[in-house]
Structures are given as structure tokens and as C-alpha cells.
């Protein structure tokens, strides 16, 4: 069976797709999620007042599924940015992961020792966790790995859901995190070969995760061993109905379904569809840009853009006569305390912003940048690039345009497709985001004080880099 995929660009449609796959599962569900937490359940991130209970909603579906179909194995693999101790959170109370565990859902920690980081012994003891993690108790593991990963800036940034050995799967930019309930996101619904590859990726993550310490409940380890050993596709059967995304109203969700071209597309075959894993992503993005010819257009929507090398690659495309539009976010929606918020908003995308100003002046007719202001809470959180013209192509998923996302420090999943239907749906979504009043053009004229401010920020970034801290 060849790969098929669909594009979802409506926030209600994303939540609807998660619901559909959870309740369609016949044998097993594997969810890999960077953040799966209610508002206030993080140590660093602040609560967001009035946010929809996204995490509890998805958790309730998983619990209901387990009660309704107890034979279905449900595994959730979380990055340790999602805490397991309610005493370490801003909102005291029962955590989402505890509710899942009590319902029979197996919750594991992502194994981060496979990522790229400095493995030699460091003077700061907390940075040496990887050298003695096997001696840490199950009760302390999440907190200690979280501190260690923050110091090394490594993450399992994946946001994937796959069922029944690859019967269907989702790759999305969206976290199950209450403050992000109304962020602008996208999702790819996968069926066929590419969904089976997503299952294989999830199984490898599961194999790595079970090497870490846990307080196992009776039968959990045996379920996981069975899942790892079974040919799930054969168990479910090859003649099952192909699952297609459809419109399912979600009770109490405050965002209405938007009947626009990018909301939800029908599945479309694509024999060239690929699943891209972590360090593969940047090379494929570079190949997409290199393939662009004069008269064609490249569209980029990414919350973070700090990879100057990729901007240089875009400059070469501009010299060939390609048109480029880039949309990134102001990062004001991240619910951070004051000092981390200021540093994030002013430093993370700073160097690319300075270079982009120069490119806009040099290629005023073919290079445009807009920055989506998310100070009111709705972040532009997509991570997608597409080429329109001869042989349209798209790469999208979880990887921001940052060195950490591309070098292997973060674990990521993207998809690459040549489906004209998917490229067109993203182009429609991009045009809609581009036209929002919150998406403002990058100013090219720099007043005296603004020029001084930009130079001071560049100096501050250089000082951070001297300390080994890079965005």
C-alpha cells in the first residue's frame, strides 16, 4: 500500500483528528508528546488564565478508551519537561500523567541519552547525569533528567500519534498543553507506508524508553514486551478500512470549525512521501530550496528561525530569481516569567532578523518577512516549508528552523511530500496567516536608537555563546 496523507490546518480539526484516532484503535496506541500538561503543571511555564482544558480532554479520551477496550495497549512517551511530581509544579494537584496511569495507560519517559550533547565530564555535577543515571531511583529520575536536559539543551520534541502497527498516524506541531489550545498549528494525517514507518519510529522510542527506571505496575512490562515482539499489522489485519480524517464536533471547545480550504483535506496518494527523522530534516530542506528555480516561490512558516545558514541558502535562491516569503512568531505567547520571556523574544531569532532586514532591502520585490505578534496569546506555531511551481514539495512537522532542531540535540519528526493537494492546502493556510492583522511586515528602516539596540542584542548573544549557551 502506498502512502496517503491529508493536511489539517484548523485548530478544531486537529483536536477532532486526535479524538478519531484514539477511538478507532483496535490493538494499540503510541503517543509521543513533548508537553502533555494542564495549565500550571510546569515548573517554568506560567499558567494561562481561561485556557481550554486541552490536556485533561485528551487524557479523558485515553482513559475512556482504556475502560471501553481494556485489551488495547496505550503507551504515552513524554519528554521530561512534563513533570511527574505535583510538588514541583505551579498548580498543586493531581497531574494528567497520574490520571492516565491510574486508568491503565502506560506512561514512560523519553530516553534522551541518544541525542547529540557534550558527553564528557563537566564541572557542574548536574550536567553529568548521563554518566550515572542508572543509579538514580525511579522516583527522582524525571526531575533529575529534566534539570540535566535543560543544562544541555536537549529534548524529545516529537508530537506523534500512531495506532495499530501503523494503521494510521498523526504528525503535528501541536502540544497537548492547555496554554496552547488556540495556537495556530498544523497536522499531517498519515496512512500506508509512511504511517508504518511512523510506527517503527515509535517502537524504537519505546525500546529506548523502557531502559530507564520505573516503578512498574503489574502486567505493564509484559504488555510492552508483547507490543515489541508482535507483528501488530498482522494482528489487526491488512483488509481493515482506511481511516480518513472527518469532521467531528468537540463539546465545549471554544474555537469553531473554520470552513476554509486548509481546514481538512481528503487523503491523497503520494508514493514519494517520506518520514524524516531529526538529522535528516535540514538536508532535505536544503534540497528543497536548491531545487527552486526562477519564477517559483518558497513559503516558510516557523515559530523560531535562528539558523543563519538556512537564510544564506535562501539568499542563493533569491539570486537565482526565486521568490521567498517567511513568517515567524514574536514568541510573546510563550507563558514564561519576565526575564526568560524577554531573553526569548529578543535573542532567539535576533541574528536571522538582522540578516533578513538586509535581504529585504536587496531583494525588495522577491523577499518578504512578516512577524506574527502573539502577545494576545495565539502563537503562530507551524514549522513548515513549501515550494510552489514545478514539482511542488513540502516539508513540515515539529522541527523549528534552529540549529538545535537540526543537529540532533532535539528529537524531531517531519514529513516530506510532493502531494499538490497538501502543498495547496498549506499555501492556503499560509496566505490566511500572512493576511492576519497580527502578522506585520519586518521593518527595514532602522532609526538610530533601533540600530544601537540591535547591536547591543548582538553583543549579548555573543556573550551567551562564549558561555556555551546558544538559542
For residues 466 and 32, the model is more confident at 32
Listed residue (79, 330, 352) closest to 205, CA to CA? 79
At 234, the pLDDT band (50, 70, 90 cuts) reads low
For residue 366, pLDDT over 80 is answered with yes
For residues 445 and 262, the model is more confident at 262
Domains in the chain (CATH in brackets) are 4-236 (3.30.870.10), 270-466 (3.30.870.10)
The whole-number pLDDT of residue 88 equals 81
The whole-number pLDDT of residue 443 equals 83
Contact partners, residue 427, CB within 8 Å, separation at least 6: 299, 386, 388
Give the least confident one: 117-131, 204-218, 396-410: 117-131
For residue 237, pLDDT over 80 is answered with no
Task: Read off the pLDDT of each residue in 327-341 and give the average, rounded to a whole number.
Answer: 93
In angstroms, rounded to a whole number, what is the distance separating the alpha carbons of residues 285 and 289? 6
What is the distance of C-alpha 372 from the center of its chain? 18
Backbone angles phi, psi at 372, to 5 degrees: -80, 120
The whole-number pLDDT of residue 241 equals 72
For residues 274 and 93, the model is more confident at 274
The whole-number pLDDT of residue 402 equals 95
At 450, the pLDDT band (50, 70, 90 cuts) reads low
At 470, the pLDDT band (50, 70, 90 cuts) reads low
The whole-number pLDDT of residue 361 equals 93
- Summarize pLDDT for 146-166 with one digit per residue, the tens: 999 999 999 999 999 999 999
Task: Read off the pLDDT of each residue in 16-44 and give the average, rounded to a whole number.
Answer: 94
- How are beta strands 73-78 and 106-109 bridged, if at all? parallel
For residue 469, pLDDT over 70 is answered with no
3-class DSSP assignment, residue 321: coil
3-class DSSP assignment, residue 41: coil
- Summarize pLDDT for 100-112 with one digit per residue, the tens: 999 999 999 999 9
At 179, the pLDDT band (50, 70, 90 cuts) reads very high
For residue 236, pLDDT over 80 is answered with no
pTM exceeding the 0.85 threshold for the entire prediction: yes
Task: Read off the pLDDT of each residue in 295-322 and give the average, rounded to a whole number.
Answer: 97
Burial of 90 (0-12, 13-18, 19+ CB in 10 A): middle
CB 421 within 8 A of CB 189: no
154, three cell numbers: 536537549
The whole-number pLDDT of residue 447 equals 63
For residue 343, pLDDT over 90 is answered with no
The whole-number pLDDT of residue 329 equals 97
The whole-number pLDDT of residue 463 equals 67
At 231, the pLDDT band (50, 70, 90 cuts) reads confident
What radius of gyration do the chain's Cα atoms show? 22
The whole-number pLDDT of residue 87 equals 82
For residue 14, pLDDT over 80 is answered with yes
Percent of all residues in the chain with a pLDDT value above 90, rounded to a whole number: 78
For residue 194, pLDDT over 80 is answered with yes
- How are beta strands 410-411 and 155-156 bridged, if at all? parallel
Task: Read off the pLDDT of each residue in 227-235 and give the average, rounded to a whole number.
Answer: 80
Give the least confident one: 233-247, 283-297, 341-355: 233-247
For residues 457 and 185, the model is more confident at 185
Task: Read off the pLDDT of each residue in 421-447 and give the average, rounded to a whole number.
Answer: 92
Count Cβ neighbours within 10 Å for each residue of 215-246 and write b for 16 or more, e otherwise.
Answer: eeeeebeebbeebeeeebbeebeeeeeebebe
Task: Read off the pLDDT of each residue in 73-86 and give the average, rounded to a whole number.
Answer: 94
Task: Read off the pLDDT of each residue in 298-312 and give the average, rounded to a whole number.
Answer: 96
Average pLDDT over all residues of the chain: 92
H or E segment to which residue 308 belongs: helix 308-319
CA 443 vs CA 98, 226, 309: distances in Å: 48, 57, 22
For residue 455, pLDDT over 90 is answered with no
Task: Read off the pLDDT of each residue in 173-192 and give the average, rounded to a whole number.
Answer: 97
CB 349 within 8 A of CB 304: yes
CB 270 within 8 A of CB 33: no
Amino acid at each position: 500500500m502506498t502512502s496517503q496523507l491529508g493536511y489539517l490546518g484548523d485548530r478544531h480539526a486537529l483536536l477532532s483528528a486526535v479524538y478519531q484516532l484514539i477511538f478507532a484503535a483496535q490493538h494499540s496506541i503510541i503517543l509521543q508528546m513533548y508537553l502533555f500538561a494542564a495549565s500550571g503543571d510546569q515548573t517554568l511555564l506560567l499558567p494561562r488564565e481561561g485556557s481550554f482544558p486541552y490536556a485533561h480532554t485528551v487524557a479523558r479520551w485515553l482513559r475512556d478508551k482504556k475502560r471501553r477496550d481494556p485489551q488495547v495497549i496505550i503507551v504515552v512517551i513524554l519528554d521530561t519537561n512534563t513533570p511527574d511530581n505535583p510538588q514541583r509544579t505551579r498548580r498543586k494537584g493531581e497531574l494528567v500523567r497520574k490520571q492516565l496511569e491510574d486508568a491503565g495507560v502506560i506512561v514512560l519517559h523519553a530516553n534522551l541519552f541518544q541525542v547529540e550533547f557534550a558527553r564528557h565530564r563537566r564541572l557542574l555535577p548536574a550536567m553529568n547525569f548521563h554518566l550515572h543515571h542508572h543509579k538514580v531511583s525511579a522516583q527522582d529520575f524525571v526531575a533529575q533528567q529534566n534539570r540535566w536536559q535543560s543544562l544541555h539543551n536537549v529534548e524529545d520534541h516529537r508530537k506523534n500519534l500512531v495506532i495499530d502497527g501503523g494503521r494510521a498516524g498523526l504528525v503535528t506541531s501541536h502540544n497537548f498543553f492547555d496554554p496552547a489550545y488556540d495556537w495556530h498549528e498544523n497536522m499531517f494525517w498519515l496512512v500506508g507506508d509512511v504511517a508504518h514507518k511512523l510506527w517503527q519510529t515509535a517502537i524504537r522510542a519505546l525500546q529506548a524508553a523502557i531502559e530507564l527506571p520505573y516503578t512498574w505496575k503489574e502486567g505493564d512490562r509484559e504488555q510492552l514486551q508483547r507490543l515489541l515482539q508482535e507483528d501488530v499489522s498482522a494482528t489487526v489485519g491488512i483488509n481493515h478500512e482506511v481511516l480518513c480524517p472527518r469532521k467531528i464536533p468537540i463539546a465545549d471547545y471554544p474555537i469553531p470549525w473554520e470552513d476554509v480550504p486548509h481546514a481538512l483535506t481528503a487523503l491523497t496518494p503520494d508514493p514519494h512521501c517520506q518520514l524524516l527523522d531529526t538529522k535528516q530534516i535540514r538536508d532535505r530542506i536544503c534540497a528543497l530550496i536548491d531545487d527552486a528555480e526562477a519564477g517559483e516561490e518558497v513559503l516558510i512558516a516557523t515559530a523560531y528561525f535562528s539558523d543563519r545558514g538556512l537564510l544564506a541558502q535562501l539568499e542563493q535562491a533569491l539570486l537565482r530569481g526565486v521568490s521567498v516569503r517567511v513568517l515567524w512568531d514574536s514568541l510573546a505567547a510563550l507563558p514564561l516569567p519576565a526575564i526568560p520571556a524577554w531573553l526569548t523574544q529578543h535573542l532567539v531569532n535576533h541574528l536571522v532578523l538582522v540578516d533578513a532586514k538586509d535581504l529585504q532591502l536587496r531583494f525588495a520585490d522577491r523577499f518578504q518577512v512578516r512577524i506574527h505578534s502573539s502577545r494576545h496569546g495565539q502563537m503562530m506555531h507551524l514549522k513548515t516549508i513549501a515550494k510552489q511551481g514545478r514539482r511542488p514539495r513540502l516539508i513540515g512537522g515539529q522541527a523549528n528552523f534552529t540549529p538545535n532542531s537540526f543537529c540532533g540535540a532535539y528529537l524531531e519528526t517531519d514529513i516530506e511530500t510532493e502531494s499538490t493537494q497538501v502543498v495547496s492546502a498549506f499555501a492556503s493556510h499560509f496566505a490566511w496567516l500572512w493576511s492576519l492583522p497580527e502578522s506585520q511586515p519586518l521593518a527595514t528602516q532602522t532609526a538610530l536608537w533601533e540600530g544601537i539596540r540591535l547591536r547591543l542584542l548582538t553583543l549579548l548573544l555573543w556573550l551567551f555563546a562564549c558561555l556555551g549557551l546558544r538559542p
